[in-house]
Chains A and B, each alone.
Chain A
Amino acid sequence: MHIQDLIEKHGFVKLSGDDTAREIKRVYTCDLLSWVMAKGKSDTAWITVQTHNNILAVASLLDFACIIIPEGIQVPEEVIEKANEQNVILLSTSLEGYEIFKILYEAGVR
């Protein structure tokens, strides 16, 4: 599963970043940043309801594939700008976490 598949086949909206050809190898969801720092692995699609600047540092330090903001939660414009500067891919979807997991599981991310 590649990031562009989520955009093209499942209607996820790309808010920032360029490298949509990147492969997603893992999925993880958690909103406690230290928890994510302790557990996160590279090439992860990270689902979180947090929408402040610090999610960008976590994603880029751990070399995540992308951040998915679920349930149509709005991301502040300044966070999107900063994500573009740091080349972090932010995706937005109206789906809930479970639905996102199903899509990725069915696409072979296990």
Chain B
Amino acid sequence: MKPYMKDPANAAMKLHYEVAKDDFARAGEASSKIKSVLKQLGIEGGVLRRIAIAAYEAEINLVIHSEGGTVEAFIKPDCIELYIEDKGPGIADIDLAMTQGYSTANPAAREMGFGAGMGLPNMQKVCDDFTIESEPGEGTRIKMVVNY
């Protein structure tokens, strides 16, 4: 897998959102805003859908699993890039975390219908390019690219 690298070159527009830990009430707002900007730009429905899924799953992961983090979208001439960065706690075994059905979500999150262990696999599935890096004790960084 390629190393995580933020590439602001050619970005016609950059969107930046803070996502707070355990903030279920506002979860989905960043993804909804990204989707609505892209819709206004006339981005095609299939691409829109893939970006919406990738951004939403990432945002929900920040709420459920992280100490808080950011969702950024770079809108480029040929693709959209999503960058997800959090403040911890980091993932010890990325392969295990990427396994469909594996989840460490707590019972409260599961009662709300989260924690199916599908978030990361869904994100990877809808992207043309998916990079994840994580250090326990530090944090997780994910880059997702969806081409038009």
Contact = CB atoms under 8 A, between A and B. Distances in A.
Interface stretch (B75-83, B84-92, B111-119, B136-144): B111-119
A34 B28 contact: no
A61 B114 CA distance: 16
B53 A54 contact: no
Interface in A50-64: 50, 52-54, 56-58, 60-63
B62 interface: no
B56 A61 contact: yes
B73 to A, nearest CB: 14
B57 interface: yes
B32 A60 contact: yes
Interface of A: 31-35, 37-38, 42, 48, 50, 52-54, 56-58, 60-63, 86
Interface string B27-70: 11101100100000000010001001100110010000000000
Contacts of B114: 32-34, 54
Residues of B contacting A: mostly: helix
Given A50-B113, A61-B56, A34 B119 contact: yes
A63 B125 CA distance: 19
A43 to B, nearest CB: 11
Nearest to B119: A34
Contacts of B12: none
B131 interface: no
Given A34-B122, A60-B32, A50 B57 contact: no
A53 B49 contact: no
A56 to B, nearest CB: 7
A60 B53 CA distance: 11
State the 7 A-B residue pairs at the shortest beta-carbon distance, nearest first: A57-B28, A34-B118, A61-B52, A32-B116, A33-B113, A34-B116, A38-B122
Contacts of A56: 28
Nearest to A86: B32
A61 B113 contact: no
A63 B48 CA distance: 10
Contact of B32 (A35, A48, A57): A57
A25 to B, nearest CB: 14
A51 B49 CA distance: 23
